[in-house]
Structure 1
């Protein structure tokens, strides 16, 4: 019975979550309850609970995680300054003369917003409010329109600088060090957030290219589903290329400064995030959208999101310590090592579990609860840490799209018109799920897609 306590702990946490309680307090409360039961029955070593204060202090003292509120501030400020709206209008005009042009413009703007905000919910809601009514008005098939918006909105999971990659980078780095210690290797070598940013760049761009290719395919095979904007309407737009430059250059320059400073080794992710936050304020000032009311709204949103992330991290830390106290990490290690197929079978099972958990849990909970348990084991089996991090990020992105519980579907359902059915939204995302699984399979086959760029830049 004792050996099944870690499994009961995990199941208990899931049950409490499904009852509707807060994630952070569900994890911490379940962990503390099982620790108390174990302490009273003599099956739990209290030394693990004594490590909680040190774990919480190390979380709050982690310089890498300071990048999270700064990136959130940057994204929310760009959202409030209506840059997304101007980008959509301009890109739609640029590509509107061709069938599927609106879909292509939504994909490209989704990519830029992903690199600017890194927040899936904010991107999907913004794109849904701004582009969905326009696409439907132009005669787009509702399934194609909603699928494009959901898929483009989830690019924030993989296109750097992504908050998902920041959090995963920190967890994977710790897991890599733990795996080295478990193997008796004491090396100063580590994995950085910059490594993960570089590793995710090519797969992220591959996804964008695949989305655009699908839109071109639809335009060829079902032209009535993705009509072009009437030519007489496009002729009414003056100075299009000048407008395009004004809309595109500022956010692209900001993204280039943030990413370039990280990838070039000139700044840490935290320092680059501060540059992004200040740059976002500068863009808002240029657009005359910066005032005390806007600043107040942005700071409130940033505080709410950041508080949620860190309180979940604290709850997950307590849960993980109790899980390890019951020998849960040994149980998982034995299970993965005993699977047929070796490291391939272990990786396949982990990816399946993460995919299924993505239906019910946000990426933050999965990153802080599941990844610290399985990552050291997989890394000790010889997997590349950067490749593992990118695979997990794309996997989570896919689960965000998958019916019936994909988070992106709920976000869009909340802002979509009533005449757009949930079935149409589900139908629309299916081709994009297949595209992501194809890219995931390609990345599993050709690991160099994730590892080549970091090795080229950092050696």
Structure 2
């Protein structure tokens, strides 16, 4: 009967590839499959009796409450034109350096990632603001578009990140499930704060490697990265640097500092961030009733989509488990030659390949709940696995044909830039992300050392 679990997985994957909505596909296909299996005596409907409790648990989960708050914060900061002011100021600071505008794009991407965490908004905003200037200055279209796409995806790994919140919830449940199946009754679990702290070093490493790549291109292939002809320092630059950098840095300290310092939970920090974003917009005189309605409407749309996927994933996970899928996956991964190394490698390769076709939320709620409990029972560190998965899923935004960052940028790119240039431009950054995955595999301390220091007894 376990082959039915694989059939269910295949049917859902096919339905998603055909373009059906994710949430409705997860719940609809799972429910129909379960009802058909009941007629042949292959499935016990008792597995679905816990659906109401699952839904109630999702809607009252204090961790997931942070999702709409961080989404609100990101959309509010987008409306306050933070990126436009930051990019303009950083361009003036880096003026005169070969590749200075490219380096500015990466730095602004990192700052926006730490203050908004919304990939689509960052890519579109920097595509509108920076790409025309980069092309006018003579940047290679492949380098310019690749840099903007990669900088925009930093919001996936640099906290506060929506994917880290979702992963924290999924991996926490998987960790508790693994402990129960091993007969371990411990209050110890995985928190979103653990993943936030664990992602700091890898996120900064990505920023450094991105900048190193642009610098290397400026040194070894200077024709692709021109020098700015206007190298004069504009008057009043110091004041603009202070007024541009202090607000986002203050917000970053408010949100991340409160979490790292143990003063607040991620959800409480998200509420502070939402309030801080409103105050920042008000200080820039960009907060009014109409804009607040736009932000709230956007927050409702994004949050509703995410929570509907949560509910659909509950149908899928219970049906998959009722068909013996958990046992099938456990037997498959534990019997692989090479033990834990091969099992983790297999999971990472699978996620990378599926990332060519599916979104990170879909992978988080389809693949992760299936494989994570098995890996935890094999002794894999939960924080390390969470950061590995997060960086792996970050590549899904850049890998064609369905990389969302590619679509976002294509929508605001002038017709003179070919789509193939965008695809070629992101390839070096995909390789950088994969190299960071390898570094994490070799040196797990990159993700686990800081949490062990901050949260040590």
- TM-score, scaled to structure 2: 0.98
**Preserved contact between residue 98 and residue 225 of structure 2 (Cα < 8 Å):** yes
Pairing 1:28-39 to 2, within 5 Å after superposition = 28-39=27-38
Pairing 1:366-377 to 2, within 5 Å after superposition = 366-377=363-374
Tell me if 1:205 matches 2:221.
no
Deviations 1:190-249 (A, max 9, x none): 1111110010000000000000111110110112211222236x44x2111110110011
Question: Runs of at least 4 residues of structure 1 off by over 3 A?
Answer: none
Deviations 1:381-420 (A, max 9, x none): 0010000000000001123212333221111111111111
Shift of 1:360: 1.8
**The one of 234, 237, 251 aligned to 1:240:** 237
Quote the residue 2:455 is aligned against: 458
- Which deviates the most, 27-36 or 14-23? 14-23
Distance 1:360 1:51 in 2: 31
Quote the residue 2:396 is aligned against: 399
Quote the residue 1:98 is aligned against: 97
Quote the residue 1:178 is aligned against: 177
Quote the residue 2:325 is aligned against: 328
Pairing 1:341-420 to 2, within 5 Å after superposition = 341-420=338-417
**Preserved contact between residue 196 and residue 386 of structure 1 (Cα < 8 Å):** yes
Quote the residue 1:267 is aligned against: 264
Quote the residue 1:282 is aligned against: 279
- TM-score, scaled to structure 1: 0.98
Tell me if 1:300 matches 2:292.
no
Distance 1:175 1:10 in 2: 19
CA RMSD of aligned residues (A): 1.0
Distance 1:315 1:125 in 2: 29
Deviations 1:38-80 (A, max 9, x none): 1111110111111111111111110010000000000000000
Quote the residue 2:124 is aligned against: 125
**Preserved contact between residue 359 and residue 407 of structure 1 (Cα < 8 Å):** no
Distance 2:412 2:47 in 1: 45
**Preserved contact between residue 168 and residue 389 of structure 1 (Cα < 8 Å):** yes
Quote the residue 1:6 is aligned against: 5
Instruction: Name the SS of the counterpart of 2:158 in structure 1.
Output: coil
**Preserved contact between residue 172 and residue 375 of structure 1 (Cα < 8 Å):** yes
Deviations 1:315-373 (A, max 9, x none): 01111110001011111111111111111111011111111121222111111221111
Tell me if 1:315 matches 2:312.
yes
Shift of 1:135: 0.9
Shift of 1:155: 0.5
Quote the residue 1:337 is aligned against: 334
Quote the residue 1:43 is aligned against: 42
For structure 1, the 5+ residue unaligned runs are: none
Quote the residue 1:164 is aligned against: 163
Aligned residue pair count: 456
For structure 2, the 5+ residue unaligned runs are: none
Distance 1:124 1:313 in 2: 26
**The one of 435, 438, 442 aligned to 1:441:** 438
Quote the residue 1:254 is aligned against: 251
**Preserved contact between residue 358 and residue 402 of structure 2 (Cα < 8 Å):** no
**Preserved contact between residue 219 and residue 226 of structure 1 (Cα < 8 Å):** yes
Distance 1:143 1:91 in 2: 22
Instruction: Name the SS of the counterpart of 1:415 in structure 2.
Output: coil
Tell me if 1:23 matches 2:22.
yes
Distance 2:156 2:436 in 1: 14
Shift of 1:3: 2.4
**Preserved contact between residue 168 and residue 190 of structure 2 (Cα < 8 Å):** yes
Deviations 1:260-312 (A, max 9, x none): 11111111111100000000000001101111111111111100000000001
